């Protein structure tokens, strides 16, 4: 247990960033930094394992369950290991109207995995999400911070090819 | 200047007036009047700060906001969290919209709740049973699969049945406010939100057992009492002990001479005012551990009172009268009356009688 | 009139220098050097600008409700948790012209007496968060943020807070909970945020677009703003248009432009895509009632419908809809209303926080019934059941998500009941891929 805990530490830059985040909020309200720090943690550790969440709790001096509650509430936090690229495609009305269902079917077929699964080479995880606030530019998906919009089957092929390199 | 503000606010609930201090909630004011007008509550728990507002069982209609501003509130409001205003008029059981809304809350709470009362340890002291019996309908329109959860073991003392949970958050507030460290909470969201420790950790500290008492349903039950008895076969007795950690004021639940369960004492609203420690609850199960005060007063309407009194004092409905009423038929007979009907109809007595109660006279 | 988007296509407008050259931050100078906070509030009140997040509550009035107890900090929180399906205007504004929001935040914070203000951006828009953070750095370097702004003695710090993926955090009290590092469970009201908001202190929560209007209002006066628009719908509004139209995108309109013009002119949506007909419109984001095309273009009385708060809601729920957040979704005859209604119901089920019983249980129930109907397993009584469930959720929940989940279902059945019946009566035909119910009389 202690051994795993030792392996979960922020890089010095991220630790400094986390400290800066905590300092943004008024005295005694450091819990507000929870979500920014969780994003930071996911950036480094790819997913929110129990150890990662416990580490985040220790940084903020809150109980671990407070982190678990928040992590399970918000959909952006991955509670299971994910591939190198997490493709989060929007399944909501407007994107579907713009031809989303065909494009996503193509994407699913191309990767050979179902939503929620990771390709066997560990490169891609497919995740279905709700509206990404890009309705007029749909269908769309997001990989990390990047939005891919106005998707077509060809575009999807290009993106996958590019990221598979 | 002298403070001339009135000390008490006057509120009318279902036509009954009551005076309460400012800051009182509608539900508390109604409880002051009595159980006849008190709205049901599945999530509100007076001793727990911040509880309430979630289950929507206690919705009421505010037909006049206050004496100053007598406009009605546009929506039904949760009475457990809405503070009263002076001159407020509230409709509760007298408003069809409220009755209907409660019916729908029962329906919503039951669509995913397993109907396994016959094997549930909470049966007989379950608030959802009472609530659906008093406010619900006997059928369901739900045709879909019921929600299920993965089982989670939360230690040797407390049994968690997530399928029965109504997400009242009472146990979360209890852990926050009564115990020194909360290890469980609500995980996930929407209709898959669940009470969990996330990591299958035991909920274990001196006061953790209180989550059992605050749980309105059978989601959190006492593992040491599990499947041992039904509440209506056990005898509750008030007792106390000299406890270092808590008040030591408890109820012992007997089967014969054996203490099969220890709980905190609940008031008439099913609320615990003095929480007890786990030692009292789980360890002290000998009569010799306790000073017995006497039998717990149990409401005669409660199923727990069954088999406990030599004479049943609950007033039964008069079936003979009901039968006579339902079988009464107007005799269609054209033989002449001794008096002309019109003569009788003109008499003041007859008119008064008719006006008073028409239903015993089929003809007009 | 272009108030928010005038310079949006100017190259480099996302940088401080270009924005400043285009007249940026003059409103901050004016406010801080020449105006008292009360005067700013008064100016915004005069403008009549209404909350652009969806509810349409007058912003100046909301500001004037803010409690001001001695010695207690006050907060301004900008709601940039734009998640309503069909709405992407704030996304567009923030990524293209971030300084407009920053400037508005300074003006609004000054008006409210807040020394620390937050911009809560949905976590998915992390790249926009970086844009905003850069803009804040630039504004700070130029002396418009931080301690002693322009030598006035007024301090302001802006914090950009990321969300984590929850539609419900667009509800202001859920947003505040989230900002405090908790689950996004909406709070019971009262107390309202104006009295007890963030950290239990008086707080105002405003939408991005609302805050962004303040710099124009200060520069040109509230009366000039009120002169634009129609009646109580003053000023301009960003409409994010999507669906089956020729030109999806974000458009700034003068409130009161006719619906026909907005849909069909080349300045805006450019009409329904070529060779197709208008079937239905969701005018203000997925939560507002869906209306058939003819009721979108004309009210039940036969008057031309306008893009304004009042005109769109003319006819109430029976024949009207709402302007909402300006999420404008167009459906042509190839769209299946049942499938779309199910899609939206699934969205609300997914996004319900699970706190109160009608919403937690009701949204899931509606989704399951709609799923059955869409997949050919419905029965006739399911339609009335859906209407009944929606009625029982509506108005009985802690926050407006319950209403938002109920209205699309109720309105779809109200206007397109025969399409639901067709799915039930002809399950084999209705479940064929691409099968759509055609009723020409509905199409425009």
Over the stretch B241-286, which tens digit does the pLDDT of each residue have?
999 999 999 999 998 889 999 999 999 899 999 999 999 999 999 9
Contact residues, chain C, for B65 at CB < 8 Å: none
Mean pLDDT value across residues C227-248: 95
Query: Quick one: tokens of B103?
Result: 């019916």
Burial of C114 (0-12, 13-18, 19+ CB in 10 A): buried
Structure tokens at C146: 């931080």
* Nearest neighbour of A31 by CB, restricted to C180, C327, C344: C180
Hey, is the C-beta of C369 within 8 angstroms of any chain B C-beta? yes
Q: How much is the pLDDT for B335?
A: 60
Best probe of the A interface among B149, B175, B199, by most A CBs < 10 A, is B199
Q: Based on the domain organization, do A69 and A89 belong to the same domain?
A: no
pLDDT of residue A60: 95
pLDDT at B5 (0 to 100)? 59
Report how far residue C313's alpha carbon sits from residue C323's, in angstroms, rounded to the nearest whole number.
7
**Which residues 165-204 of C have a C-beta within 8 angstroms of A?**
165-167, 178-184, 199
C288 or C431, greater pLDDT: C288
Residue A50 has pLDDT above 60, yes or no: yes
DSSP B83: B
Which pLDDT score is estimated for A20? 95
Reply yes or no on whether the pLDDT at C424 is more than 50. Answer: yes
Interface B-C, measured as beta-carbon pairs within 8 A, has a size of 89
More confident site: B341 or C54: C54
* Best CATH choice for the domain C234-332 from the list 1.10.10.410, 3.40.50.300, 3.10.20.600, 3.20.20.30: 3.10.20.600
Contact C237, C255 (CB under 8 A): yes
When pLDDT is cut at 50, 70 and 90, the band that residue B313 belongs to is low
End-to-end CA distance of chain B: 66
Measured CA to CA, the distance from residue C98 to residue C129 in angstroms comes to: 10
Do the Cβ atoms of B187 and A63 come within 8 Å? no
Query: What's the domain count of chain B?
Result: 3
Over range C191-217, report the average pLDDT: 96
pLDDT tier at B317, thresholds 50, 70, 90? low
User: Between C1 and B239, where is the model more confident?
Assistant: B239
Q: List, in order, residues 6 or more apart from C98 with CB less than 8 Å away.
A: C14, C128, C131, C132, C134, C135
Could you tell me which residue, B118 or A5, shows the higher pLDDT? B118
Q: What CATH number did the domain enclosing A146 receive?
A: 3.40.30.10
| pLDDT score of A3 more than 50 | no
Average pLDDT for chain B:
87
The answer as to whether B282 is a domain residue is yes
Domain boundary residue among B82, B103, B124?
B103
Same domain for B296 and B352 = no
Give me the domain span that covers residue A114.
85-164
Please tell me whether residue C144 adopts helix, strand or coil conformation: coil
Q: Is position B69 within any domain?
A: yes
d(CA B350, CA B352): 5
Measured distance CA(C221)–CA(C3) in Å, rounded: 13
What class, spelled out in words, does domain C16-227 have in CATH?
Answer: alpha beta
CA C104 to chain centre: 18
Asked whether residue A68 is assigned to any structural domain, the reply reads yes
Q: Do residues B96 and B15 both lie within one domain?
A: yes
Compute the count of residue pairs across chains A and B with CB atoms less than 8 Å apart: 28
Q: What's the fold here for domain C337-442? A: de novo design (two linked rop proteins) (1.20.1440)
Q: Is the pLDDT of residue B172 over 70?
A: yes
Its pTM surpasses 0.80: yes
Helix (H, G, I), strand (E, B) or coil at A103: helix
User: Which secondary structure element, helix H or strand E, spans residue C59, and what is its range?
Assistant: helix C59-64
* Same domain, residue pair A66 and A104: no
Chain B residues within 8 A of A63 when measuring between CB atoms: 181-183
Phi, psi dihedrals of residue C234, rounded to the nearest 5°:
-90, 155
| Spatial separation of the C-alpha atoms in residues C76 and C49, rounded to whole Å | 17
Count of domains forming chain A? 2
* B189 lies within 8 A of chain A by CB: yes
Residue A67 lies in a domain: yes
Chain A CA closest to residue C333: A97
**Residue A1 pLDDT class (50, 70, 90 cuts):** very low
In a domain, B27, yes or no: yes
Judged against a pLDDT cut of 60, whether residue B363 lies above it is answered with no
pLDDT of residue B306: 75
Inspect the interface and report whether the beta carbons of B53 and C188 lie closer than 8 Å.
yes
Among A73, A99, A115, the domain boundary falls at: A73
Please indicate whether, in this complex, the C-beta atoms of C329 and A137 are within 8 angstroms of each other: no
| Any A CB within 8 A of B183 CB | yes
- State the pLDDT at residue B36: 86
Q: Is C270 on the interface with A (CB under 8 A)?
A: no
Where in chain C are all domains bearing CATH 3.40.50.11540?
Answer: 16-227
Mean pLDDT of B161-186: 94
**Residue B80: its pLDDT value, please?**
95
Pair (B33, B98) in one structural domain: yes
Choosing from A22, A46, A73, the residue where a domain stops is: A73
Q: What is the ipTM of this complex?
A: 0.94
Query: Which residues 39-78 of A have a C-beta within 8 angstroms of B?
Result: 50, 63-66, 68-69, 72-73
- Would A79 be classed as within a structural domain? no
Band (pLDDT 50/70/90 cuts) for residue B303 is: confident
**Section C142-148 average pLDDT:** 95
In the structure, what pLDDT confidence band is assigned to residue B341 with cuts at 50, 70 and 90? low
Q: What is the pLDDT of residues B63-108, one digit of tens each?
A: 999 999 999 999 999 999 999 999 999 999 999 999 999 999 999 9
Closest C-chain CA to B185: C183
Residue C351, SS3 per DSSP: helix
Q: What is the mean pLDDT of chain C?
A: 95
**Would you say residue B332 has pLDDT above 90?**
no
Q: Are residues A160 and A90 in the same domain?
A: yes
Q: Is C132 on the interface with A (CB under 8 A)?
A: no
Could you tell me the residue range of the domain that residue B349 belongs to?
A: 325-360
Does the pLDDT at position B120 exceed 70? yes
Q: Which whole number is the average pLDDT over C9-21?
A: 95
Interchain CB distance below 8 Å, A136 and C250:
yes
Inside any domain, residue B319: no
Residue range B322-337: mean pLDDT, rounded: 66
In which region does residue B294 sit, left (phi positive, over 0), alpha (psi from -120 to 50) or beta (all else)?
Answer: left
Residue of B39, B49, B54 to mutate, testing the C interface (most C Cβ within 10 Å of its Cβ): B54
Residue A2: per-residue pLDDT: 41
Beta strand pairing call for B77-78 and B9-13: unpaired
pLDDT reading at A43 higher than 50: yes
Do A110 and A50 belong to one domain? Answer: no
Inspect the interface and report whether the beta carbons of B183 and A63 lie closer than 8 Å: yes
Percent of chain B with pLDDT strictly greater than 70: 86
Q: Say if residues B26 and B84 touch (Cβ distance below 8 Å).
A: yes
pLDDT band at C114 (very low <50, low <70, confident <90, very high): very high
Same domain, B265 and B341: no
B336 against B137, higher pLDDT: B137
Q: Quickly state the pLDDT bin for C438 (edges 50, 70, 90).
A: confident
Do residue B24 and residue B97 come from a single domain? yes
pLDDT given at position B330: 67
* Mean pLDDT value across residues B195-210: 90
pLDDT at A4 over 90: no
- B236 and B279 in a single domain? The answer is yes
CA C379 to each of CA A35, C148, C346, C409: distance values in angstroms, whole numbers, following the listed order = 45, 68, 20, 16
Which residues, listed in sequence order, are joined to residue C332 by a DSSP beta bridge? C278
The predicted-structure confidence for B22-67, as pLDDT tens digits, reads as follows 999 999 999 999 988 999 999 999 999 999 999 999 999 999 999 9
- Distance of residue B75 Cα from the nearest chain A Cα, in angstroms: 29
Please state the rounded mean pLDDT for residues B111-139: 92
- Write down the pLDDT at residue C381: 95
For residue C384, the model assigns a pLDDT of: 96
We report the CATH number of the domain holding residue A58 as 1.10.10.1590
Q: What is the 3-state secondary structure (H, E, C) of C299-336?
A: CCCCCECECCHHHHCCCHHHHCCCCCCCEEEEEECCCC
Q: Which chains does A contact via 3+ CB–CB distances below 8 A?
A: B, C
**Confidence at residue B364, expressed as pLDDT on a 0 to 100 scale:** 43
User: What distance in Å separates residue C31's CA from the closest CA in chain A?
Assistant: 26
Task: Identify the closest residue of chain A to C247 by CA–CA distance.
Answer: A136
State how far residue C183 is from chain B, nearest Cα, in angstroms. Answer: 9
Residue B116 forms part of a structural domain: no
- Pairing relationship of beta strands C116-121 and C75-80 according to DSSP bridges: parallel
Asked whether the predicted pLDDT for residue A117 surpasses 50, the reply is: yes
Q: Are B306 and B329 within one domain?
A: no
Please give the Cα distance from C376 to C426 (Å, whole number).
8
Residue ranges, comma separated, of all CATH 3.10.20.600 domains in chain C are 234-332
CB B167 within 8 A of CB B54: yes
pLDDT at C58 (0 to 100): 95
Residue A80 in any domain: the answer is no
Q: What are phi and psi of B13, to 5 degrees?
A: -120, 120
């Amino acid at each position: 247990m202690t051994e795993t805990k030792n392996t979960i530490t922020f890089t010095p830059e991220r630790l400094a960033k986390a400290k800066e985040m905590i300092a943004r909020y008024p005295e005694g309200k450091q819990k507000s930094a929870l979500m920014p720090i969780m994003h930071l943690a996911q950036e480094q550790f790819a997913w929110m394992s129990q150890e990662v969440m416990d580490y985040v709790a220790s940084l903020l001096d809150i109980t671990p369950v407070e982190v678990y509650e928040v992590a399970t509430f918000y959909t952006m936090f991955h509670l299971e290991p994910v591939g190198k690229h997490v493709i989060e495609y929007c399944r909501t009305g407007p994107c579907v109207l713009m031809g989303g269902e065909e494009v996503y079917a193509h994407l699913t077929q191309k990767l050979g995995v179902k939503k929620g699964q990771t390709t066997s080479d560990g490169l891609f995880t497919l995740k279905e999400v709700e509206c990404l606030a890009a309705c007029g530019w749909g269908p769309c998906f997001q990989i990390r911070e990047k939005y891919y919009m106005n998707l077509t089957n060809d575009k999807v092929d290009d993106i996958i090819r590019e990221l598979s390199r | 200047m002298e403070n001339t503000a009135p000390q008490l606010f006057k509120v009318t609930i279902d036509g009954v007036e009551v005076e309460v201090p400012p800051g009182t909630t509608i539900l508390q004011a109604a409880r002051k009047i009595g159980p006849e007008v008190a709205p049901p509550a599945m999530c509100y728990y007076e001793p727990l700060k911040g509880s309430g507002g979630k289950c929507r069982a206690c919705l009421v209609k505010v037909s006049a906001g206050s004496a100053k501003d007598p406009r009605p509130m546009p929506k039904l409001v949760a009475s457990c969290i809405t503070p009263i205003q002076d001159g407020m008029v509230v409709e509760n059981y007298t408003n069809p919209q409220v009755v209907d809304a409660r019916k729908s809350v029962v329906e919503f709470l039951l669509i995913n709740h397993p109907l396994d009362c016959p094997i549930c340890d909470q049966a007989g002291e379950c608030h959802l049973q009472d609530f659906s019996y008093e406010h619900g309908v006997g059928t369901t329109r739900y045709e879909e699969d019921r929600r299920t959860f993965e089982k989670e073991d939360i230690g040797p003392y407390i049994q968690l049945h997530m399928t029965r949970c109504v997400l009242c958050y009472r146990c979360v507030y209890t852990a926050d406010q009564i115990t020194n460290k909360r290890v469980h909470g609500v995980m996930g969201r929407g209709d898959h939100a669940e009470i969990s420790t996330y990591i299958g950790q035991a909920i274990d500290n001196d006061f953790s057992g209180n989550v059992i008492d605050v749980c309105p349903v059978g989601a959190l039950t006492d593992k040491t009492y599990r499947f041992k008895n039904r509440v209506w076969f056990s005898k509750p007795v008030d007792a106390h002990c000299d406890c270092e950690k808590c008040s030591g004021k408890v109820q012992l639940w007997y089967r014969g001479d054996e203490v099969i369960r220890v709980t905190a004492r609940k008031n008439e609203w099913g609320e615990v005012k003095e929480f007890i420690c786990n030692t009292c609850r789980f360890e002290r199960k000998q009569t010799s551990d306790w000073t017995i005060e006497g039998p717990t007063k149990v409401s005669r309407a409660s199923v727990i009172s069954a088999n406990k009194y030599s004479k049943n004092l609950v007033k039964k409905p008069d079936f003979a009268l009901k039968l006579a009423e339902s079988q009464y038929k107007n005799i269609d007979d054209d033989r002449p009356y001794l008096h002309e009907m019109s003569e009788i109809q003109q008499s003041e007595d007859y008119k008064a009688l008719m006006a008073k109660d028409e239903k015993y006279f089929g003809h007009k | 009139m272009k108030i928010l988007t005038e310079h949006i296509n100017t190259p480099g407008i996302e940088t401080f220098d270009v924005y400043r050259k285009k007249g940026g931050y003059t409103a901050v100078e004016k406010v801080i050097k020449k105006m008292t906070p009360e005067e700013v509030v008064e100016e915004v009140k005069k403008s009549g600008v209404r909350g652009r997040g969806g509810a349409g509550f007058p912003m100046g009035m909301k500001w004037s409700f803010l409690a001001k107890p001695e010695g207690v900090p006050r907060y301004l929180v900008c709601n940039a948790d734009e998640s309503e399906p069909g709405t992407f205007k704030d996304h567009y504004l923030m990524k293209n012209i971030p300084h407009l929001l920053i400037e508005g935040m300074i003006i609004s914070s000054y008006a409210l007496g807040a020394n620390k203000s937050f911009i809560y951006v949905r976590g998915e828009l992390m790249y926009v968060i970086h844009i905003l953070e850069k803009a804040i750095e630039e504004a700070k370097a130029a002396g418009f943020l931080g301690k002693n702004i322009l030598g006035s003695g007024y301090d302001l710090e802006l914090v950009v807070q990321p969300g984590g993926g929850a539609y419900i955090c667009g509800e202001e009290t859920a947003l505040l909970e989230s900002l405090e590092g908790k689950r996004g469970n909406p709070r019971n009201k009262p107390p309202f945020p104006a009295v007890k908001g963030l950290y239990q202190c008086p707080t105002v929560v405003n939408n991005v677009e609302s805050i962004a209007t303040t710099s124009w209002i200060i520069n040109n006066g509230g009366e000039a703003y009120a002169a634009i628009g129609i009646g109580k719908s003053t000023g301009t509004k960003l409409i994010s248009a999507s669906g089956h139209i020729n030109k999806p995108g974000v458009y700034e309109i003068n409130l009161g432009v006719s619906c026909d013009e907005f849909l069909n002119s080349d300045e805006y949506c450019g009409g329904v895509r070529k060779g197709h007909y208008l079937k239905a419109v969701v005018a203000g984001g997925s939560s507002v009632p869906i209306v058939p095309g003819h009721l979108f273009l004309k009210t039940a009385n036969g008057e031309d419908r306008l893009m304004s708060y009042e005109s769109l809601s003319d006819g109430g729920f029976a024949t009207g809809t709402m302007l909402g957040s300006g999420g404008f979704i167009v459906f042509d005859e190839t769209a299946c209303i049942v499938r779309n209604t199910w899609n939206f119901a699934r969205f609300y089920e997914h996004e319900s926080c699970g706190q109160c019983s009608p919403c937690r249980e009701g949204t899931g129930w509606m989704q399951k019934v709609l799923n059955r109907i869409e997949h050919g397993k419905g029965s006739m009584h399911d339609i009335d059941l859906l209407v009944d469930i929606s009625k029982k959720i509506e108005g009985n929940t802690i926050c407006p998500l319950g209403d938002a989940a109920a209205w699309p279902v109720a309105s779809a059945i109200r206007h397109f009941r025969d399409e639901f019946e067709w799915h039930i009566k002809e399950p084999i035909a209705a479940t064929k891929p691409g099968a759509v119910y055609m009723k020409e009389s509905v199409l425009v």
